[in-house]
Amino acid sequence: MAQIAKNHCSIFVVVLAVTVFAFVADRSASAQTVKSSIQKMSGWQSCSTCAGAGGAGPTSHISTAAGVASPSMSGNSRVFSIAGTKAYADALWWKQLGAANSATHLVYDLYFYLKTPQYAQAIEFDSNQANGHMRWIFGTQCDIARGRWDVYANAEGSWTSTGIACGRPSAFKWHHLTWEFSRTSTKLTFVSVTLDGVKHYVNRTYTGKASSVNELNVAFQLDQNSSHVAYSAWIDNVSLKYW
């Protein structure tokens, strides 16, 4: 009988532990906020000169349009285009999503598509968060020219290589990208990048920047190479999850 009582006690402890774990997991899931189909939202902002080095790069002609039926995955993608006469011109677009001052984890997920990737120097995928005191710039780029993923070192104000390969994306193909980020009150971490199902842990941590801004957004940037040939990129099923 003593052995039976012991077994019953063990079973109870296991059941209780599973119940507590399920409760915590459910609380974590319910606390998450997801902004979906961001590419369909109105109010995207843009700049050209400010996207260049030191915020004073060559000016280019840029445009964006939503509601693109083809190419698309959802039937409603967004296209971005850049054209200009200067080598290495850039164009940045971003969508403000309000404020999420308490969120310490972010997941930026999207699909992108190019027809002429040979004209791209780099493609940038960013999320920015600020709480009126500190700004965390989750800046990332597929540095196509050098064949690697770079991340933005924030307070250092420079791009740094992760050592993770990112070659020229295949043309006429949807590529699935997921970036995972986290932060503390003063620092931010680039946790991992997953491209077309292949995941790499980055684990690079940097100090954020002092800022009076209060915001949460996602951003997308196109960089031209030395040939400055016009090209376009499409994005679809864009989401930002944070908690």
Return the HEC string of 54-118. Answer: HHCCCCCEEEEEEEECCCCCCCCEEEEEEECCCCCCEEEEEEECCCCCCCCEEEEEEEEEECCHH
Q: Which two tokens stand for residue 192?
A: 């991992």
How do the pLDDT tens digits run along the chain, 243 residues long?
A: 444 444 544 444 444 444 434 433 444 555 899 999 999 999 999 988 777 666 766 778 999 999 999 999 999 999 999 998 899 999 999 999 998 779 999 999 999 999 999 999 999 999 999 999 999 999 999 999 999 999 999 999 999 999 999 999 999 999 999 999 999 999 999 999 999 999 999 999 999 999 999 999 999 999 999 999 999 999 999 999 999
Q: What is the pLDDT of residue 1?
A: 46
The set of residues, in sequence order, having a beta carbon less than 8 Å from that of 221 and lying 6+ positions away, is: 51, 90, 91, 92, 93, 122, 123, 124, 125, 126, 141
Q: What is the pLDDT of residue 106?
A: 98
Q: What is the pLDDT of residue 29?
A: 54
Q: What is the pLDDT of residue 189?
A: 98
Q: What is the pLDDT of residue 90?
A: 94
Q: How many separate helices (H) and strands (E) can be counted in the chain? A: 1, 16
